[in-house]
Amino acid sequence: MKDIKVGVVGVGRGMSFAMGAQYAGMKLVAICDIWEEKLKEAGKKLNVSIYTDYDKFLQHDMDAVILANYFHQHAPFAIKALKAGKHVMSETACNSTIAEGVELCRTVEKTGLIYMLAENYPFTVFNMEMRRLYKSGEIGEVTYAEGEYNHPMNPESRCLISPGLNHWRNWMPPTYYCTHALAPLVYITERMPVKVNALSIARPSINRHTSRRADPGFVILCRMDNGSVFRLFGLLLPGHSNWYRIHGEKGAMEITRGPGYFGSGQIRVWHEHWTKKKGQLLEKTYLPEWPEKGKLADRAGHGGGDFWTNWYFGQAIRTKKQPFLDVYKGVAMSSVGILAWKSALEDGKPYEVPDFTKESERKKYEKDDASPFPDATTSHRMPPSILGFIEPEPGDVVFARKVWKKIGYRDNDL
């Protein structure tokens, strides 16, 4: 079949998408970034056209755009690409304000083009297996679930991925990065959040030797559309955790805990003796296998998820059918993080999650531009910490700048 011509924005995280495009029936033709030195290096390595101007990039002959640019810029870039006639896959999150989410949904509907959230954690071998088990009826309808994405890093590593005092990672409230915890649970159960409340964990000492202003941890409770409750946890607290558990009316399942990024690499399923069906074991623990394309998935990052996001995006374009992680699910899950932060700033007040498939509900939120990011044009600036607008210690900034200098980044945010 004819290759889908694709361009990638962002030569940091975007390199994974660029390198993996060929395995999903896509041909990389262009890349875009404002960091010229890194862009030229990537262009030479990939042998594709390079652009520092996004508008000129969109004029390149291509069918689709993959956005791996800054977290809080995804929606404006996606909307511009859709209006230019390009299908879009966007890294997490879809939107950094509720108003952006409303506009993004409207634009996808108006253009009729494919939009996909490139959330990779649903597509690990563990979560794909738990989706298969859930759809088979193994544990029945979900009643409670837990999703954890807690990824601590040493100070130097955190500085390396957040160069600049006003880099988005330094201002992002922890709840905003909730889709790694939530999306796998949504993928497994196909349940959607309707209400959220959250608490933030403020520990300034964890931010030492970085320029991060935001809190390092969160807990979110989501009321789902079938009445179940999902608990989400993250983000930077010591104690690495990438873990998911589902309780149903007839049993439960989880990734078994253990050392490493994905625990012991096994699935545990268990039942009560009065709920198990004939022939079922009370408990079993096993190593799951890929349903297909295992060799390609094993070569990709994020536990194979980086292959599957490219693959499903390509399939959606070819079939002209929106993917599972479409604009409505993507915007809703991204908005959980925003609404959860509003909740945390009010010590756990519940907030309703709008149904973004309905214009009548979207209309209520079209002007909600509340944002914590310093470069956002907003009528409501939210603090990145429940402690307020805190400043990093001078010594921590000195340390961060020394790290940034190693990668050739010159900090102009004086």
56 in any annotated domain? yes
Q: Is 206 helix (H, G, I), strand (E, B) or coil?
A: helix
Domain boundary among 85, 117, 149: 117
Q: Is 255 helix (H, G, I), strand (E, B) or coil?
A: strand
Give the range among 31-40, 58-67, 360-369 with minimum mean pLDDT.
Answer: 31-40
Burial string for 331-367 (b: 16+ CB within 10 Å, else e) reads bbbbbbbbbbbbbbbeeeeebebbebbeeeebeebee
86 and 49 co-located in one domain: yes
**Could you give the dihedral angle defined by the CA atoms of residues 58, 61, 67 and 70, in that order, rounded to the nearest 10 degrees?**
-40
105 in any annotated domain? yes
57 and 171 co-located in one domain: no
The pair of three-digit structure tokens given for residue 85, joined into one six-digit string: 């006639």
Domain CATH code at residue 355 = 3.30.360.10
The pair of three-digit structure tokens given for residue 224, joined into one six-digit string: 């789902």
200 and 338 co-located in one domain: yes
Mean pLDDT of the 100-105 span: 98
Q: For tokens 């498939």, what's the residue?
A: 357
Distance of CA 292 to the CA centre of its chain: 24
Q: Quickly state the pLDDT bin for 263 (edges 50, 70, 90).
A: low
Q: Please report which helix (H) or strand (E) contains residue 313, including its range.
A: helix 305-319
First-to-last alpha carbon distance for the chain, in angstroms, is: 52
Cα→Cα distances 122→13, 118, 226, 305, Å: 18, 10, 20, 7
Structural domain boundaries, residue 206? 122-294+327-365
The pTM of this model reads: 0.95
Instruction: Please give the full DSSP string across 112-123, using - where no structure is assigned.
Output: ---EEE---GGG
Report how many domains make up the chain.
2
72 and 22 co-located in one domain: yes
- The mean pLDDT value of the chain amounts to 94
For residue 413, the model assigns a pLDDT of 54
For residue 16, the model assigns a pLDDT of 87
Domain CATH code at residue 50 = 3.40.50.720
For residue 264, the model assigns a pLDDT of 65
76 in any annotated domain? yes
For residue 259, the model assigns a pLDDT of 66
pLDDT exceeds cutoff 60 at 174: yes
Domain boundary among 62, 92, 117: 117
Domain boundary among 117, 151, 179: 117
86 and 219 co-located in one domain: no
| Cβ proximity of 32 and 51 under 8 Å | yes
257 and 147 co-located in one domain: yes
For residue 414, the model assigns a pLDDT of 45
Residues whose CB falls within 8 Å of the CB of residue 227, separated by 6 or more in sequence, listed in order: none
18 and 130 co-located in one domain: no
